Amino acid sequence: MIRELAPAKVNLFLHVGDKRPDGYHELESLVVFASAGDELTFEEADALSLHVEGPFAAGLAEEPDNLVLRAARQFAAFAQIEPKVRITLTKNLPIASGVGGGSSDAGATLRGLSRLWPGKLTLPQLWNIGHDLGSDVPVSVLPGCWWMTGRGERFASVPEIGTLDALLVNAGTAVPTASVYAKLKERSGTGRMTKPQRFATIGQLSEYLHRARNDLEAPARTLCPAIDEELAALNRTNPLLARMSGSGATCFALYPDAASAGMAAETTSREHPGWWIAPTKLNFGRKWEFQ
Residue 31's CATH number: 3.30.230.10
Is the per-residue pLDDT at 50 higher than 80?
yes
Is the per-residue pLDDT at 224 higher than 50?
yes
Buried-state track 49-63, b at ≥16 Cβ within 10 A, e below 16: ebebebebeebbeee
- Do residue 214 and residue 104 come from a single domain? no
Domain span holding position 34:
2-157
- Do residue 100 and residue 176 come from a single domain? no
The predicted model gives 267-276 an average pLDDT of 98
Catalytic residue among 9, 38, 91, 105: 9
Gap between the Cα atoms of 195 and 184, Å rounded = 25
- Do residue 135 and residue 224 come from a single domain? no
Is the per-residue pLDDT at 196 higher than 90?
no
Residue 290 is predicted with a pLDDT of 46
Task: Tell me the pTM.
Answer: 0.93
Catalytic residue among 38, 105, 136, 215: 136
pLDDT band at 4 (very low <50, low <70, confident <90, very high): very high
Is the per-residue pLDDT at 56 higher than 50?
yes
Any idea which of 69-83, 175-189, 231-245, 262-276 has the lowest mean pLDDT?
Answer: 175-189
Gap between the Cα atoms of 208 and 165, Å rounded = 17
Separation of first and last alpha carbons in the chain: 17
Where do the H-state alpha helices sit in the chain? 67-79, 101-116, 123-133, 137-141, 177-183, 202-210, 217-223, 226-235, 258-271
Residue 194 is predicted with a pLDDT of 83
- Do residue 208 and residue 121 come from a single domain? no
Any idea which of 37-41, 135-139, 225-229 has the lowest mean pLDDT?
Answer: 135-139
| Residue 22 among the catalytic residues | no
| Residue 46 among the catalytic residues | no
Is the per-residue pLDDT at 254 higher than 90?
yes
